[in-house]
Amino acid sequence: MIQLTYFVHATSIHTEKKIVAGWEGSKLSKLGEIQAKKLGRLTINQNFKIIFSSDLKRAFDTALIAFSSKYEIIEDKRLREINAGVYTNSKISDFKKIMKDHIDIPFPSGESYNNVKERISSFIEFLKQNYKNSHVAIVSHNAPQLAFEVLLNHNSWVETFDNDWRKKGDWQPGWDYWIRE
């Protein structure tokens, strides 16, 4: 069994402007830098085998600030946010209205949520092959976390969208998932 602790990246410039970053290289905002430092302090007593991070700047910078003094950090493009295609740099409020329409159908010039699910499924298989009986952490984005909910907690996409902690503002310093054989 593998324990996986998921950390969402800290606040980015795009998040503060309430626009979709998708695969853009959005930097952390000043608030995001403070949040990443705080995340490192909040998790000081955790003991991870390794940290994996999305290769997108906002996630990787969060991982570096929070964890680089204690852990090896490996970038993995499978942990990227959904490619929002033409909706990149659009208003988050508009994007959220059409998310459920893109479970199977890719965003124009982008990908679907099931495409993200395929990436995360591949990542889970990689962990099963290489990190049995370990506690690993990842720093990633919204869509990959939703895919973990679908794959590991066996929720439907619609349930997952409807129960997303982001709707309620229920942030916490890490969500635990269990990968079983």
- pLDDT (tens digit per residue) in 12-30: 999 999 999 999 989 999 9
Tell me the backbone φ, ψ of residue 94, rounded to 5 degrees. -70, -40
Residue ranges and CATH numbers for the domains of the chain are: 2-179 (3.40.50.1240)
pLDDT of residue 164: 83
Place of tokens 């709707």: 167
What pTM, to 2 d.p., does this model score?
0.93
End-to-end CA distance of the chain: 7
Place of tokens 């991070």: 53
pLDDT of residue 165: 79
Compute CA 76 distance to the chain's CA centroid, rounded to the nearest angstrom: 11
CA dist., res. 137 & res. 150, Å (int): 18
- Give the 3-state secondary structure of residue 137: strand
Kindly state the percentage of the chain with pLDDT values over 90. Answer: 88
Kindly provide the b/e burial profile for residues 105-131, where b requires at least 16 CB atoms within 10 angstroms of the residue's own CB: ebbeebbbbbbbbebbbebbeebeeeb
pLDDT of residue 173: 76
